[in-house]
């Protein structure tokens, strides 16, 4: 289970968190839909996030469905960039995500900035 949670962190841009914070996120995500995704679902979701963050206009939602597999139940939801700004030389986007899985739903909101390596990372942005 801890490896599945670690993969979930990576899929949502939480991979930018240093190893010393790893234990915090193990506990933080363990009871969430994202924390219960399988490795394959996590990889698919990360691809969906990267594409939506890079290509979607503010307000344009991406609907996703992650089929059940041997390690996790099916999940579905939406991912919507709601605001774009520039922080230094980085493009940053506020994202609203909704997840549903077997009668349970969750909403997440957070900022992601595109770093020098071209990847999107979870970050803090003052509004």
Q: Are 96 and 109 in contact (CB under 8 A)?
A: yes
pLDDT (0 to 100) of residue 41: 92
In terms of residue numbers, what domain contains 71?
2-123
Q: How many domains, the chain?
A: 1
Strands of the sheet containing 120-123, edge to edge, are: 62-66, 75-87, 90-101, 104-114, 120-123
Terminal Cα distance for the chain, rounded = 35
pLDDT (0 to 100) of residue 27: 52
pLDDT (0 to 100) of residue 16: 39
Question: How far apart (Å, rounded) are the C-alpha atoms in residues 58 and 61?
Answer: 8
pLDDT (0 to 100) of residue 87: 81
Local confidence pLDDT in tens for the 127 residues of the chain? 445 444 444 454 544 333 333 344 445 666 789 888 999 999 999 999 999 999 999 999 999 999 999 999 999 999 999 999 988 888 999 999 999 999 899 999 999 999 777 788 888 887 7
Structure tokens at 24: 């915090």
């Amino acid at each position: 289970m801890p490896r599945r949670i670690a993969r979930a962190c990576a899929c949502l841009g939480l991979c930018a968190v240093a190893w010393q914070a790893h234990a915090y996120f193990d506990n933080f995500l363990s009871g969430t839909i994202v924390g219960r995704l399988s490795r394959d679902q996590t990889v698919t979701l990360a691809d969906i996030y990267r594409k939506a963050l890079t290509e979607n206009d503010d307000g344009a939602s991406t609907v996703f469905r992650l089929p059940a597999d041997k390690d996790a139940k099916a999940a579905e939801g939406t991912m919507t960039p709601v605001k774009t700004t520039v922080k230094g030389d980085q493009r940053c986007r506020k994202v609203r995500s909704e997840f549903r899985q077997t009668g349970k739903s969750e909403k997440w909101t957070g900022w992601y900035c595109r770093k020098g390596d071209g990847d999107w990372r979870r970050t803090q942005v003052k509004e």
